[in-house]
Structure 1
């Protein structure tokens, strides 16, 4: 019984170590074959991914050996270190063959028309945008989409479309942008504006109506990711808006005067010379409070309002101070050419009465009627 037990244990021991060495070699072959396939852009099939099947360039060259052992009591147990060394030697041989197969011929390396390797993998490749960090923009959606449709239908022999158009540049003035697209197939170029309306004018008009200025518009634009409008563009746009507002105000005052004039004629309020007479209310203000003691305001305004419809018929602003003129006078220099708003040199208390007098004098020229008014300040 003792001899049989020793014989079985020796055979199992040697067979286990041999199987372990074969598994190590097979695992190493599979790792090298997968790396080689990725490098050569080889797509492994389901049969090649099987552990039992290997690519053709890694087929085993040596036949499988079967171990038939007949051990007696005098036979020595198998040498474990020798089995491990044989397995490592076989692995090194396959490693040297793999390194030699990865070396490309010289003529293939020097070939200029050779395409680069494309490694296929399961991980998704994130495409980087052509122009980064553009932020947000204000666009007219209908206009922009219709222009994109037009450029996608441009005539070409290459059957180009929107997918072949590339954004190459953006020309921006404040919040208004103009984009340049170029077709990568036929080199067709076209420009698209973000909006047909003047977005800068709309933004500045809105910020002025809210009682804010360039600093507040800058903070708002930065908060929502819009481009920052420069101070030069803001001031230029603001001046254009002020001129437009002034022209609109004069037009509205003329329309209000015509309406008051027609009603006065219907009521029969006409002078001996045939000039209509309308009832008005006048009011004025200063740029700072006087508290009935300090009448030193540098600016004042007054308006004449029609009593029947409550619309403004005349208004004016008087200023006693100009910053550019004051600086030039302090330096004893002549002021540079500028738009001066200084139009009054008298006392601050005389600003309101001067404006109202000018309004009454211009009533016939502006509205074709005379005015008889009531002062809101003194209830006269």
Structure 2
């Protein structure tokens, strides 16, 4: 067997060792990760400390064992001693809340040294601007509104102005129709605010003029129509209709006022006629008495055309007219019938009886002019 040199064996062994080393190195290529416990890359901490979002305040009013009620206006820098041990500093906000500066325990108690030291900052009152604002101006609520009403234009304008002014300065400004007073055609709307303020809009605003009920009665007299015809007119127009008693009362008052005004006008016209006669130095002497000579014109009439055939008129009228002023200085009527008296009752109730003549109709005119008219004109000197 041939002998192999040691040099050649050593080269082969070295070559084998290098081959094993290369194979081991190739097997170790890559990232070696432990198969055991994986440690985190950093320290795991909670996302944040859970803290209360604000100061923990008691949900209710925390009062000491004794009731603390100020007897008057709360003044700043006032110290109140109580049995409880509370010490806090607070600021009175406009809404009246007090923030506590003490320590609130979990059971709801407050630790303090036994005193209540109130350090209050009183803010000045806010001034409300007198400017209309949509938050103040609210719509006027009207309930059960139906039909039509007659209102005075002056009263309507004043009422709207007053309500608008009040709505701009009142912090509540909730005005509603509180009441409607109605008497015949006369209407009063009473608007009331929640704060107690009241405004009235009515049909009559001027005391120097006739009321609407009196004007209605006067209109019926001048038309002339009665209550039945006037009721049909008002009902068609959807206006309130006065009842019979209200209408008759207004009619009687209208009649009395009309008679008083007519007498006053006649007296003024007669006085003016005398003044004109005196200015012209026109006098007449009757039985030794001097009178102002007034030239007049007289006329008369009856309620129906009966002169020359029947002479059965129930009413007659006579007037005296001044020539210079062209005005009536005297007028009167005669009537021989009455609706109430002619019903045949034995006893009639109290009423305004127009019956003042018991003679023939032909004598009515002469009685008015001679016995009443001229006598009155002469007696005024």
Q: Report if TM-score (shorter chain) is over 0.5.
A: yes
- The match for 2:284 is 271
Structure 2 unaligned blocks of 5 or more: 1-138
- The match for 2:154 is 142
- The match for 2:363 is 350
CA contact (8 A) 2:154 2:205 kept: no
Which is greater in Rg?
2
Looking at structure 2, the residues matched to 269 and 317 of structure 1 have their Cα atoms a distance apart, in angstroms, of 31
Partner SS state of residue 205, structure 1: helix
Q: How big is the shift at 1:345?
A: 0.9
Looking at structure 1, the residues matched to 167 and 147 of structure 2 have their Cα atoms a distance apart, in angstroms, of 32
Q: 2:219 aligns with which of 206, 224, 228?
A: 206
CA contact (8 A) 1:152 1:160 kept: no
Q: How big is the shift at 1:355?
A: 0.4
Partner SS state of residue 321, structure 2: strand
Partner SS state of residue 177, structure 2: strand
Q: 1:195 aligns with which of 204, 210, 230?
A: 204
Q: How big is the shift at 1:208?
A: 2.1
CA contact (8 A) 2:317 2:368 kept: yes
Looking at structure 2, the residues matched to 326 and 240 of structure 1 have their Cα atoms a distance apart, in angstroms, of 25
CA contact (8 A) 1:167 1:180 kept: yes
Looking at structure 1, the residues matched to 342 and 219 of structure 2 have their Cα atoms a distance apart, in angstroms, of 32
Q: 2:256 aligns with which of 243, 250, 266?
A: 243
State the TM-score, normalized to the length of structure 1. Answer: 0.57
CA gap of 1:291–1:345, structure 2 versus 1, over 3 A, is: closer
1:173 correspondence with 2:187? no
CA gap of 1:145–1:309, structure 2 versus 1, over 3 A, is: closer
CA gap of 1:157–1:142, structure 2 versus 1, over 3 A, is: closer
Partner SS state of residue 202, structure 1: helix
Structure 1 unaligned blocks of 5 or more: 1-126, 369-380
Richer in helix (by share): 1
**More relative contact order in 1 or in 2 (CA 8 Å, sep 6+)?**
1
Looking at structure 2, the residues matched to 133 and 179 of structure 1 have their Cα atoms a distance apart, in angstroms, of 11
Q: 2:339 aligns with which of 292, 312, 323?
A: 323
1:311 correspondence with 2:327? yes
Q: 1:236-264: per-residue Cα shift (whole Å, max 9, x none)?
A: 11111111111111111111112211222
CA gap of 1:190–1:308, structure 2 versus 1, over 3 A, is: closer
CA RMSD of aligned residues (A): 2.5
CA contact (8 A) 2:151 2:201 kept: no
Partner SS state of residue 295, structure 2: strand
CA contact (8 A) 1:138 1:194 kept: yes
- The match for 1:57 is none
CA gap of 1:353–1:365, structure 2 versus 1, over 3 A, is: same
Looking at structure 1, the residues matched to 321 and 336 of structure 2 have their Cα atoms a distance apart, in angstroms, of 25
Looking at structure 1, the residues matched to 185 and 167 of structure 2 have their Cα atoms a distance apart, in angstroms, of 32
CA contact (8 A) 1:154 1:160 kept: no
Number of positions where the alignment pairs a residue of Structure 1 with one of Structure 2: 235
Looking at structure 2, the residues matched to 216 and 201 of structure 1 have their Cα atoms a distance apart, in angstroms, of 17
Looking at structure 2, the residues matched to 278 and 352 of structure 1 have their Cα atoms a distance apart, in angstroms, of 20
Partner SS state of residue 242, structure 1: helix
- The match for 2:348 is 335
The 5-angstrom pairing of residues 78-97 of structure 1 reads: none
Q: How big is the shift at 1:133?
A: 4.6
Q: 1:180-203: per-residue Cα shift (whole Å, max 9, x none)?
A: 22224x344444323324111222
The 5-angstrom pairing of residues 9-28 of structure 1 reads: none
Looking at structure 2, the residues matched to 221 and 171 of structure 1 have their Cα atoms a distance apart, in angstroms, of 18
The 5-angstrom pairing of residues 49-64 of structure 1 reads: none
Q: How big is the shift at 1:292?
A: 1.1
